[in-house]
Amino acid sequence: MSAIRLGLCIPERKKSAICLPERIEALCDEKNIKIIEIDIDADLESQGPFDVLLHKIIDYYNVFPIQEADEKVKRLVSYATRHSKMVVLDDFDWCLRLTKRKSMIEVFEHCQFIMDDIKVFFPKTVELTAEMSSSDIELVIRNTDIRLPVVAKPFSAALDDGSHNMALVFSEERLIDLKRPCLIQEFCNHSGVYYKVFVVGDRFNICENPSIRDFHQKDNDCPTIFFNTRTIAKVGQPFNSNLHDKDPNDRDWLSCDQQPNLLNRNLIKEIIQRMRQKTGIQLFKFDLIVERDTGHYGLIDMNQFPSYRGIDSKHFPKHLVELITNYR
């Protein structure tokens, strides 16, 4: 049986960060998969053919100026178009679309359902444009019946230095001060914990992460709190008394290896099936919260080809190679 030719097209910085191809080399040898590290600037035809193309095109925009990144991506997309039998991990269009939060909402709308008396939802979200006046914003709040506090999020979810900069707003009057355009999303109390679900094909792993503490009626007079999610919602970051109830470093954050029943696995499987049905992508992560008072699951974020940090390091390479061999 001939080897599967796996083309790897990932910027050097990203390859180093996720230790590819090193972490899959032994398994690929075992499964008769030949890894070809693609030079995006060289002739692609002479480097192929490839049975499977594994790429991270959005990272080219983090490394190169937009025009140069565009040229590299177009070159790869053109090659894939000419070789339609080649399996592409993942769909180029959705990889780019998921860098925008509006596209995430489109996916989340497809993933709302009830199972085992648990509702899967995404918190009510509305758009504030740069042109809106105070009265315009007031009208939007009234018409949509969105409840405060809200989390203000930029349109961009990646490829932008400010994509992780957010604000927690407690009063309607302070919404006018936000940097717009932006999305505002109802804040749901979730006991200061959110969950990352890492997906490779139909395999998944879950881990807990620190999040924003619960807020109550007495907090309605709080000033707007500006924060970066990378410092608030990440293990190992400093305690923030405004947003954390307790120091997140004082407890262990579990994965499904330590606690198999972190979440309802049937619900997670259904969410994954719906996300894959909508986007066709195989390598992704989504974040969810468990609403404190209801136990319902709120979808809050999604991205393609994540780092897979937070779960046991053996899972990603094993599941990735398994996925690739399925295309034999």
Q: Does pLDDT of 151 surpass 90?
A: yes
Rounded to 5°, the CA angle 252-104-19 comes to: 50
pLDDT for residue 216: 83
Q: What is the pLDDT of residues 153-180, one digit of tens each?
A: 999 888 766 788 999 999 888 898 898 9
Binding residues for ATP: 101, 153, 185-196, 211
The pLDDT-based confidence of 10 (bands split at 50, 70, 90) is very high
Note whether 26 and 44 are same-domain residues: yes
Give the lowest-confidence range in 47-56, 87-96, 106-115, 235-244.
235-244
Total number of domains constituting the chain: 2
Q: What is the pLDDT of residues 24-35, one digit of tens each?
A: 999 999 999 999
Binding residues for Mg(2+): 287, 301, 303
Q: What is the pLDDT of residues 76-116, one digit of tens each?
A: 999 999 999 999 999 999 999 999 999 999 999 999 999 99
Q: Does pLDDT of 294 surpass 80?
A: yes
Question: What's the rounded mean pLDDT across residues 282-301?
Answer: 97
Note whether 209 and 173 are same-domain residues: yes
Q: What percent of the chain has pLDDT over 90?
A: 74
Contacts (Cβ under 8 Å, ≥6 apart) of 56: 9, 10, 11, 14, 305
d(CA 20, CA 25): 8
Note whether 69 and 124 are same-domain residues: no
Q: Does pLDDT of 236 surpass 90?
A: no
Task: Report the CATH number that the domain containing residue 233 is assigned in CATH.
Answer: 3.30.470.20
Q: Are 157 and 301 in contact (CB under 8 A)?
A: yes
Q: Is 16 within the bounds of a domain?
A: yes
Note whether 85 and 102 are same-domain residues: no
Parent domain of 55: 4-89
Note whether 289 and 171 are same-domain residues: yes
> Which three-class secondary structure state does DSSP give residue 34?
strand
Q: What is the dihedral of CA 111, 112, 113, 118, to 10 degrees?
A: 110
pLDDT for residue 29: 96
pLDDT for residue 232: 85
Q: What letter does residue 59 receive in the DSSP assignment?
A: G
Angle between helices 315-325 and 22-30 (to 10 degrees): 40
Q: Are 137 and 129 in contact (CB under 8 A)?
A: no
Q: Which tokens is 36 given?
A: 């070809």
Q: Is 12 within the bounds of a domain?
A: yes
Q: What is the pLDDT of residues 265-275, one digit of tens each?
A: 999 999 999 99
Mean pLDDT of the chain: 93
Assign residue 318 a region (left: φ > 0; alpha: ψ between -120 and 50; beta: otherwise).
alpha
Total residues found in the chain within this entry: 328
Note whether 49 and 138 are same-domain residues: no
Buried/exposed 228-260: b ≥16 CB within 10 Å, e otherwise: ebeebbbeeeeebeebbeeebeeeeeebbeeee
Q: What is the pLDDT of residues 191-221, one digit of tens each?
A: 999 999 999 999 999 999 999 999 987 777 7
Binding residues for 1D-myo-inositol 1,3,4-trisphosphate: 14, 56, 164, 196, 303, 307
The owner of tokens 């779960």 is 311
| Parallel, antiparallel or unpaired: strands 193-200 and 225-228 | unpaired
Note whether 298 and 269 are same-domain residues: yes
Q: Are 195 and 209 in contact (CB under 8 A)?
A: yes
Neighbouring CB atoms inside 10 A of 2's CB total 8
Q: What percent of the chain has pLDDT over 70?
A: 99
d(CA 310, CA 312): 7
Binding residues: 14, 56, 101, 153, 164, 185-196, 211, 287, 301, 303, 307
pTM summary value: 0.94
The pLDDT-based confidence of 189 (bands split at 50, 70, 90) is very high
